[in-house]
């Protein structure tokens, strides 16, 4: 492989081909620290042309590659396997905002741009890029597109797929497909863009994208509601949509245990209610008219919810600081989990109308199989996405509990499928859920996916072992 690495150095320069263990280490371990792979080298191209040349070198020497953005994924999709024969191709140096078009409401960006960088560039032009998630300070838009990331604003704006108009992709043959068209309507054959979004780098490497922008809202209002049950949270969602329509941009469900965990691990964060409640919903309204308009909508909806007994109590943020404090409660749930110990994560989606039934059925099933296990249930109720995580019972070590991961997954995933749901809502499949996908997808679906993979990547060098 010395000839291969020499060719890579000729393409990108010595400084951007890393093969010393210490230099490669940050690129080899997944975000949760559960798995560390091995790599022949880490390649760090600085242009689309260099990406294409590196792919052609990989084709010549039959070297498999793993595209990587911010490496914030949760399903082992952006790290190499344990063979040491693969290369990691980091897109981090492709980080330019190529163009902002406020009239067409689009932005063209490199795949290695940090999500927060894109948000700030849009805001500087008086626009909004609405994709927002906990890792926005470190995740890249290429990774967001490759996993079709969701986040907290899907209810109003959709997943990353809905926020993308065009792509630039380096194919498995090392050619560059330029589909960077900022068109809302383009019915000229197969939609190649949608093949690559959500494909986790298994069909090609996204190097650029045209993203949708929106007008900045005139005002945003945040509130936290306390509720008696998940079923009343569903009722509240319908009520809020009836009163607020598209002004409702966020609707996040959190169980009592979630906020107890946050309070235990981060006691400096606000405690909005004097007493605890079974469930909480974090609401966000955005108005294109005025703050008065948003406040009026929220007051009407909250008043109706209180009168009907849908909610027990509610607090409304009256300042930017208070709003940030309420959002911190939601955003610190994964951090509190990490501080408390290991857990078995599930990123699932269900029809919104089935979520309460799923929670009521699956919790007792898990408790019967693993008495005393702790359920950390939170997520984007407005679009049916739950993060349904299972923590060890008190007194059980992390290692002993994690040995049951396959059994825990079986209980949760079987229940998800029985309620018409999906085992992956916004994190992808990667290597972690590959076998689970094969278990729950039909043979017809899997065969079509394999046919697409074989047609586009006949050598199987693009992120092998992921998804399929």
- pLDDT, average across residues 89-99: 98
State the first-to-last Cα distance of the chain, in angstroms, to the nearest integer.
27
Q: What is the pLDDT of residues 439-467, one digit of tens each?
A: 999 999 999 999 999 999 999 999 999 99
Query: How far is it, in rounded angstroms, from Cα 199 to Cα 354?
Result: 28
For 133-137, 225-229, 359-363, which range has the lowest pLDDT when averaged over its residues? 133-137
Q: Phi-psi category of 221—alpha, beta or left, where left has phi over 0 and alpha has psi -120 to 50?
A: beta
Q: What is the pLDDT of residues 240-266, one digit of tens each?
A: 999 999 899 999 999 999 999 999 999
* Whether residue 130 sits in one domain with residue 85: no
Sequence-distant (≥ 6) Cβ neighbours of residue 440 within 8 angstroms: 413, 417, 423
pLDDT over 90 at 158, yes or no = yes
The β-bridge partners of 100 are 107
Instruction: Evaluate whether residue 173 is within a structural domain.
Output: yes
Model confidence band, residue 290 (pLDDT cutoffs 50, 70, 90): confident
* Whether residue 83 sits in one domain with residue 122: no
Model confidence band, residue 134 (pLDDT cutoffs 50, 70, 90): confident
| Helix pair angle (355-369, 230-244), 10° resolution | 160
CATH number at residue 356: 3.30.70.2740
Instruction: Evaluate whether residue 153 is within a structural domain.
Output: yes
Please report which helix (H) or strand (E) contains residue 99, including its range: strand 97-101
* Whether residue 257 sits in one domain with residue 316: yes
Mean of per-residue pLDDT scores for the chain: 96
* CA neighbours closer than 13 Å in the CB half-sphere of residue 290: 3
* Whether residue 411 sits in one domain with residue 372: yes
pLDDT over 90 at 291, yes or no = no
* Whether residue 323 sits in one domain with residue 233: yes
Instruction: Evaluate whether residue 457 is within a structural domain.
Output: no
Query: Torsions phi, psi of 425, nearest 5?
Result: -95, -50
Of 69, 90, 111, which residue constitutes the final position of a domain?
90
Q: What is the pLDDT of residues 342-393, one digit of tens each?
A: 899 999 999 999 999 999 999 999 999 999 999 999 999 999 999 999 999 9
Of 59, 90, 121, which residue constitutes the final position of a domain?
90
* Whether residue 170 sits in one domain with residue 265: no
Instruction: Evaluate whether residue 47 is within a structural domain.
Output: yes
CATH number at residue 318: 3.30.70.2190
* Whether residue 85 sits in one domain with residue 131: no
Hey, what are 134's tokens? 């906990």
* Whether residue 271 sits in one domain with residue 203: no
Of 70, 90, 110, which residue constitutes the final position of a domain?
90
Hey, what are 249's tokens? 């941009």
Instruction: Evaluate whether residue 323 is within a structural domain.
Output: yes
Q: pTM, whole model, 2 decimals?
A: 0.93
Instruction: Evaluate whether residue 275 is within a structural domain.
Output: yes
Instruction: Evaluate whether residue 365 is within a structural domain.
Output: yes
CATH number at residue 22: 3.30.43.10
Domain with 147, as residue range(s), is: 97-215
* Whether residue 137 sits in one domain with residue 169: yes
CATH number at residue 201: 3.30.465.10
* Whether residue 211 sits in one domain with residue 102: yes
pLDDT over 90 at 216, yes or no = yes
* Whether residue 120 sits in one domain with residue 69: no
Query: How far is it, in rounded angstroms, from Cα 412 to Cα 439?
Result: 13
Instruction: Evaluate whether residue 458 is within a structural domain.
Output: no
**pLDDT at 398 (0 to 100):** 85
Mapped onto helix, strand or coil, the DSSP state of residue 130 is coil
* Whether residue 347 sits in one domain with residue 306: no
Is residue 144 within 8 Å of residue 131, measured between CB atoms? yes
Total domains in the fold of the chain: 4
């Amino acid at each position: 492989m010395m000839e291969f690495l020499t060719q890579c150095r000729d393409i990108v320069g010595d400084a951007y081909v890393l093969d010393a263990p210490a230099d490669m280490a940050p690129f080899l371990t997944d975000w949760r620290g559960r798995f560390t792979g091995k790599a022949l080298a880490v390649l760090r191209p600085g242009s689309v042309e260099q990406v294409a040349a590196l792919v052609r070198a990989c084709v010549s020497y039959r070297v498999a590659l793993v595209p990587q953005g911010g490496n914030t994924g949760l399903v082992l999709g952006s790290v190499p396997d344990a063979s040491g024969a693969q290369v990691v191709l980091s897109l981090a140096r492709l980080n330019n905002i190529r163009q902002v078009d406020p009239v067409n409401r689009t932005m063209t960006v490199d795949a290695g741009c940090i999500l927060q960088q894109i948000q700030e560039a849009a805001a500087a032009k008086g626009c909004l890029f609405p994709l927002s998630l906990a890792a926005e300070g470190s995740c890249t838009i290429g990774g967001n597109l490759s996993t079709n990331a969701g986040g907290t604003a899907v209810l109003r704006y959709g997943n990353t797929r809905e926020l993308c108009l065009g792509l630039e992709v380096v194919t498995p043959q090392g050619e560059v497909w330029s589909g960077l068209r900022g068109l809302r309507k383009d019915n000229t054959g197969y939609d190649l863009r949608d093949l690559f979004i959500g494909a986790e780098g298994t069909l090609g490497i996204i190097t650029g994208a045209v993203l949708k922008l929106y007008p900045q809202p005139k005002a945003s209002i945040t509130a936290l509601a306390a509720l008696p049950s998940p079923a009343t949270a569903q009722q509240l969602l319908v009520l809020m949509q009836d009163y607020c329509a598209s002004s409702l941009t966020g609707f996040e469900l959190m169980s009592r245990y979630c906020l107890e965990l946050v309070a235990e691990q981060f006691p400096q964060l606000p405690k909005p209610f004097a007493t605890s409640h079974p469930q909480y919903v974090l609401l966000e309204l955005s108005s294109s008219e005025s703050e008065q308009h948003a406040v009026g909508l929220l007051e009407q909806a909250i008043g109706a919810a209180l009168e009907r007994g849908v909610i027990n109590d509610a607090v409304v943020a009256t300042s930017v600081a208070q709003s940030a404090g309420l959002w911190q409660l939601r955003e610190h749930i994964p951090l509190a989990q990490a501080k408390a110990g290991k857990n078995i994560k599930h990123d699932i989606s269900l029809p919104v109308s089935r979520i309460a039934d799923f929670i009521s059925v699956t919790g007792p099933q898990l408790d019967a199989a693993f008495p005393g296990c702790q359920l950390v249930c939170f997520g984007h109720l407005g679009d049916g996405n739950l993060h349904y995580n299972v923590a060890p019972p008190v007194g059980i070590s992390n290692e002993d509990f994690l040995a049951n991961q396959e059994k825990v997954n079986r209980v949760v995933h079987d229940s998800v499928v029985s309620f018409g749901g999906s085992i992956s809502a916004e994190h992808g499949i990667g290597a972690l859920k590959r076998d689970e996908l094969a278990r729950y997808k039909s043979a017809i679906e899997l065969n079509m996916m394999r046919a697409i993979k074989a047609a586009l990547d006949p050598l199987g060098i693009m992120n092998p072992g992921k998804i399929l």
